[in-house]
Amino acid sequence: MIRIATIADVHFSQTTDGLLRPYWSSLHECADLFLIGGDLTTHGGADQVAALARELSYVRVPIVAVLGNHDYHSNQDKEVRKILEAAGVIVLEGTNTTFTIGAESIGIAGTSGFGGGFAGACGSSFGEPEMKAFIGHTERLANSLEAALSDLKTDFRVALLHYSPVKDTITGERLEIYPFLGSYLFAEAVDRTGADLIIHGHAHHGQEKGITAGGVPVRNVALPVLRRAYAIYNLEKAAHSSTGAAQGSGAISESPRTSCNTAAEISAS
């Protein structure tokens, strides 16, 4: 079993410094990896990502992240990436990374992703150069995600995005903005190569759980959706399921109570 802690849309600024540290400092007790699905900062300022890097220094497992639209806003995304990498965070964009945990291996392929909408009501690479550029960008990122995923020869494969690949996990958002929340091209790319899990953020008013047409579980881990410091997903092979659940079925596994999963709520305000 490989345990993944994950969050997205923490929108860090200097004023959020210290908010998540009490939870992140004990994350290693219940997770082997920490994945962050974009929007790490409020507007992509170097000072904001430096504040986040200080917070992440309390995390004692490998950290993998993708950037989100907020992280690009100040046109300092290269600097944002540099600061994160100097802090030991692996930042993916059309690339992958692998880990061996115990006797099992896991590969993460990541992209920020982009918009365009979902099957049946999506944009096309047609018309003005700006429209073709919009959809063309999404197509290129989906192709790079597919390539990065198919390159992985690990026991488990996870796709990490900021934008959503499916409609399920953005249900709750206004329909008019669906094209700005993600694209079906990412789900199609993952379904072509196969994966065990897709993680994304971006849709603050969406739902946590969804699934691609090909049956890959999708999880929206944006902080406003989870309202918790992170979610934990335990990846297990059916034959070795510790829960004894039927093959292919998901189940909530009980884990020993640790400081990771106590029910105490601490309000931020």
Partner 1 sequence: MKAEYQYLVAKLQRALAEDPRVNVLDIKVMMVAEKIHLTGQVANEEHKMAATKVALLVLPDLEIRNELTVLSVGAPAQPEAIID
Q: How far is CA 111 from CA 22, 26, 67, in A?
A: 29, 27, 8
Residue with smaller CB distance to partner 1, 145 or 226: 226
Is residue 230 at the binding interface for partner 1, with CB under 8 A as the rule? yes
* Sole binder of partner 1 in the list 38, 105, 217, 220 (CB under 8 A): 217
Distance CA 162, CA 65 (A): 9
Is residue 238 at the binding interface for partner 1, with CB under 8 A as the rule? yes
Residues 143-172 that bind partner 1 (CB under 8 A): 156
Q: Which stretch binds partner 1 (CB under 8 A): 56-64, 105-113, 117-125, 216-224?
A: 216-224
Residue with smaller CB distance to partner 1, 130 or 267: 267
Q: Give the contacts of 83 (CB within 8 A, at least 6 positions apart).
A: 46, 49, 50, 53
Residue with smaller CB distance to partner 1, 3 or 162: 3
Distance CA 63, CA 8 (A): 13
Is residue 75 at the binding interface for partner 1, with CB under 8 A as the rule? no
Is residue 250 at the binding interface for partner 1, with CB under 8 A as the rule? yes
Nearest to 24 by CA among 264, 260, 268: 260
* Sole binder of partner 1 in the list 15, 57, 100, 124 (CB under 8 A): 15
Q: Give the three-class secondary structure for 151.
A: coil
Residues 186-205 that bind partner 1 (CB under 8 A): 196-197, 204-205
Consecutive H or E run containing 133: helix 129-150
Distance CA 27, CA 111 (A): 24
Residue with smaller CB distance to partner 1, 2 or 94: 2
Q: Give the three-class secondary structure for 105.
A: strand
* Sole binder of partner 1 in the list 42, 96, 138, 164 (CB under 8 A): 42
Residue with smaller CB distance to partner 1, 7 or 89: 7
Q: Residue 171, CB half-sphere, CA atoms under 13 Å: how many?
A: 11
Nearest to 230 by CA among 65, 47, 54: 65
Q: Which residues bind partner 1 (CB under 8 A)?
A: 3, 5, 11, 13, 15-16, 19-20, 23, 30, 42-43, 45, 70, 73, 156, 196-197, 204-205, 217, 223-224, 227-238, 241, 243, 245, 247-255, 260-269
